Amino acid sequence: MQRAVEFVFDVGSPYSYLAYHALPAIAQAAEAQIVWQPILLGAAIRASANHSPFEVPAKMRWVEQDLVRCALSLAVAFSHNAHFPVNTLVAMRIATGLQMRRPDNFPAWVAAAFRAMWGEGRNLADPAELAVVIGEAGLDDRELLALASDQAVKDKLRSDTDAAVSRGVFGAPTFFVGDQMFWGHDRLDQVARSLAQRGGER
């Protein structure tokens, strides 16, 4: 079987944005497949009795600085999102729906959503802004919004989030290499070692 690393993410997570930029090179070096797993982060946090660092003022101030430093180290654009926390329910339903029905369009949507949220600081909870970002991804906003309203898509995102929590996920980004779980983009060095040492077969 091909080596694999599962990437559990929500585009509303700034550290997932950083991992999105860093993980492909790690996977390529290990000749591993990235298994993309969209979840709804807010639901996972609540279900695991976790708390966002942004709920703690001192931690929030540190995170704001840390994100800038990490983005600089990766040479990626980063903009603090003035609308944060942003409700990404529809955006993540779109991601799940594309995986289910139009997987070829999934990468374009994830790239556009992450760029809009954390490269440009835009509000994906605003329906008008969301439609613009969908168009910038080269996709049809009416089709994707209809997809996000499909009950099967809603159920899949919910069940995938529940399944992630049952595996121990309490935040994003989270990575799985086999049965090993790693949390946080700053654990990607450990992900790389696990892929190299154990093969990460799935």
**Location of structure tokens 């399944």:** 163
Hey, how many other C-beta atoms are within 10 angstroms of the C-beta on 29? Answer: 11
Secondary structure letter of residue 201 according to DSSP: B
Could you tell me the CA-to-CA distances from 9 to 141, 143, 158 in Å, in that order?
Answer: 22, 23, 14
CA angle at residue 166 from 200 to 53, to 5 degrees? 90
Let me know if 179 is exposed, middle or buried by CB neighbors in 10 A (0-12, 13-18, 19+): exposed
Q: Which residues participate in catalysis according to the annotation? A: 13
Contacts of 53 (CB under 8 A, 6+ apart): 59, 60, 63
CA atoms within 13 A on the CB side of 91: 34
Return the sign of the alpha-carbon dihedral for residues 72, 77, 83, 84.
negative
C-alpha–C-alpha distance, residues 107 and 80, integer Å: 23
